[in-house]
Amino acid sequence: MNMTRRQFTTLAAGAPAAAQVPARFRVVDPHVHAWKRDPRYPWAKETTNPPAEDALPETLLDLMAANGVSHTVIVHVIHYRWDNRYARDVVRQYPQKFVGVCRVNPENPGAPDDLTRLVREDGFRGVRLSPAGGPAGDWIRGPLMPPLWRRAQDLKIPMTVLTSTTRLPNVAPLIERHADLDVVIDHMADCPADQPGELKKLLDLARFPRVYVKVSHTWSISKQAYPYSDSLEQVRKIYDVFGPRRLMWGTDWPLVERHCGYARALALVRDEMKFLSEEDKRWMLGRTVERLWPFG
């Protein structure tokens, strides 16, 4: 993906069906990233293959305007690891349009205090954890997790979790212990569309009333071309269990540009998920997001 801002905008403008969003919907995107190749914001030392192109907020704002998306949640990208300054500065530059979700080092005993500072001083309104499926992600079962989850609960910010379905049984006890914490499972836990047994691990979390799911990465879990019919059937199963008020869409921009593109990611929910009513779409495209990240 080597697109300039002009190319991104041209792509959005060239998708007329996806660009016509009904005015009655307030559309809010809960999942994008932003980064910039800039010595003021150095990549983390662990980032051995940084992106060759920028993902600038101005490009994103053009796409939002072209597609009727009013607000967006910037999720701090892993390329910077625990240095959240770029996401912080983007949100500060455009506070009317963006809120931010930060990252903290889950293996640092000081992570709860880092989170407090990021929320109270830097203005972040959520935190993201990404436990890997292999041994490197075993910290999700360790003693540092309860204090961090409790701090998020005390701060009244959502905990977003990027992981595979294989880790969801490790996440469930933390959810159960922190009943007043909103928890968002990113990208449907990237459950492959042809593995219904794995999907059950995600559906089992519906028993916790404050668990939400991002309906995104349909292009990643599908084995078919757009509109990814096999993954839409999986979305239907999640919808049947969680209901629209605990589901939210998301583009995962700019990564989505390698697949269907920003405009079609919106059209996928609005036009291709035929089982959704207009009221369902109203929730999944905006209202559910604003339950967790209200924009006023």
> pLDDT digits over 243-271, tens only?
999 999 999 999 999 999 999 999 999 99
Tokens standing for 224?
A: 């078919």
> pLDDT digits over 74-116, tens only?
999 999 999 999 999 999 999 999 999 999 999 999 999 999 9
pLDDT at 192: 86
Q: Sort strands 69-75 and 247-249 into parallel, antiparallel or unpaired.
A: unpaired
As its CATH architecture, domain 5-20+27-292 has: Alpha-Beta Barrel (3.20)
Residue positions counted in the chain: 296
Distances (CA, A) of 259 to 29, 118, 244, 262: 17, 33, 25, 9
Stated pTM of the model: 0.92
Q: Residue 40 burial (CB < 10 Å; 0-12/13-18/19+)?
A: exposed
As a whole number of angstroms, the distance between CA 283 and CA 194 comes to 27
pLDDT at 23: 53
pLDDT, tens digit only, all 296 positions of the chain = 444 444 444 444 444 344 444 456 799 999 999 999 999 999 999 999 999 999 999 999 999 999 999 999 999 999 999 999 999 999 999 999 999 999 999 999 999 999 999 999 999 999 999 999 999 999 999 999 999 999 999 999 999 999 999 999 999 999 999 999 999 999 999 998 888 889 999 999 999 999 999 999 999 999 999 999 999 999 999 999 999 999 999 999 999 999 999 999 999 999 999 999 999 999 999 999 999 999 97
CB-CB neighbours of 50 under 10 Å: 12
